[in-house]
Amino acid sequence: MNIPELFARGGIAMWPLLLLSILAVGTILERIWFWSRILTREREVSGRVIEAARRDWPAAADIAVRSNMLPMGRFLSAPLRLQSPEPEVFRLALETAANEELAAMGKGDKILEAVIALSPLLGLLGTVLGLINSLGSIQISDLGSGDATAGTSLGIAEALISTAAGLVIAITALAFYRLFQGFIFGQAKMFRQAGSELELLYRQSWAQNQESPGSVVMPGPITVPPPAPAEPTVEPVNPPDSMSSPESSSL
């Protein structure tokens, strides 16, 4: 029995299960593509920014801004864009950026949660409807015959197809959901580690700058300098040929 035959025998509940499976597969593929782009580069970006912050804050801010395509770059650049903020403001900027990035990483979780919750219920509903249809066709006079028993067994077997399909969809979605949640947990841990190191370095620089102002260059906003204006060109003006000097006219 191939997949089209199983789908046809599963009953009407197979159609919403098909829709849920399409939503789950699309979400899973999109999340796999998202995580494959950032997992291998996040730690590298955080290490470069923190290493640069030990020597030069503007250089660290420049590295973070250039890595804005990654969540770690946006997270670290949020406080470094500020103009010499106080340590508490620096920490608040880190916390706000972390919350925004972690919320964005959870994109698609609601879809997977809905698939996990609805798929078994729809499969069970399809089984119940199949049992009602199978048992409703049995006459009391046919209870002792072998044909009725065989038909009932076949109907029950077909009714259980929707339950099996719903469980397969739910289990698959749950496995990837837990995998993505683990990735988010790892990112939150990395955010805390990188943010704590960057905040500690900033507090040390801030305290040193308060003791001897001007000795430490604090981070400021990153701006792109405007292009230099083009120099105007002056074309030489040739005197007309008809004009002559007074000496030549007197002759």
Collapsing DSSP to helix, strand or coil, 205 comes out as helix
Q: Where do we find the tokens 């959870």? A: 106
Which pLDDT does position 192 carry in this prediction? 95
Contact between 126 and 12 (Cβ < 8 Å): yes
- Encoded tokens for 194: 């990188």
Contact between 189 and 195 (Cβ < 8 Å): no
Amino acid at 216: V
Which pLDDT does position 230 carry in this prediction? 47
Angle between helices 71-80 and 57-66 (to 10 degrees): 140
Which pLDDT does position 203 carry in this prediction? 92
* Cα 59–Cα 65–Cα 68 angle in degrees, nearest 5: 150
Helix (H) or strand (E) holding 172: helix 146-211
Q: Where do we find the tokens 């066709």? A: 137
Taking the C-alpha atoms of residue 160 and residue 166, their distance in angstroms, rounded to an integer, is: 10
Collapsing DSSP to helix, strand or coil, 3 comes out as helix
Which pLDDT does position 21 carry in this prediction? 96
Contact between 170 and 120 (Cβ < 8 Å): yes
Collapsing DSSP to helix, strand or coil, 81 comes out as coil
Which pLDDT does position 136 carry in this prediction? 66
Which pLDDT does position 9 carry in this prediction? 80
- Encoded tokens for 219: 């981070």
Taking the C-alpha atoms of residue 34 and residue 108, their distance in angstroms, rounded to an integer, is: 11
Domain ranges of the chain: 3-137+147-211
Which pLDDT does position 208 carry in this prediction? 86
Q: Whole-prediction pTM value?
A: 0.75
Which pLDDT does position 140 carry in this prediction? 54
Query: Within 10 Å of residue 79's Cβ, how many Cβ atoms?
Result: 25
Helix (H) or strand (E) holding 114: helix 109-136
Taking the C-alpha atoms of residue 46 and residue 102, their distance in angstroms, rounded to an integer, is: 16
Q: What is the pLDDT along the chain (251 residues), one digit of tens a residue?
A: 677 887 788 788 899 999 999 999 999 999 999 999 888 888 899 999 999 999 999 999 999 999 999 999 999 999 999 988 899 999 999 999 999 999 999 988 999 999 999 999 999 998 888 888 777 666 555 555 555 455 566 667 777 889 999 999 999 999 999 999 999 999 999 999 999 999 999 999 888 887 776 555 555 555 444 444 544 444 454 544 444 444 434 43
Taking the C-alpha atoms of residue 162 and residue 126, their distance in angstroms, rounded to an integer, is: 6
Which pLDDT does position 228 carry in this prediction? 47
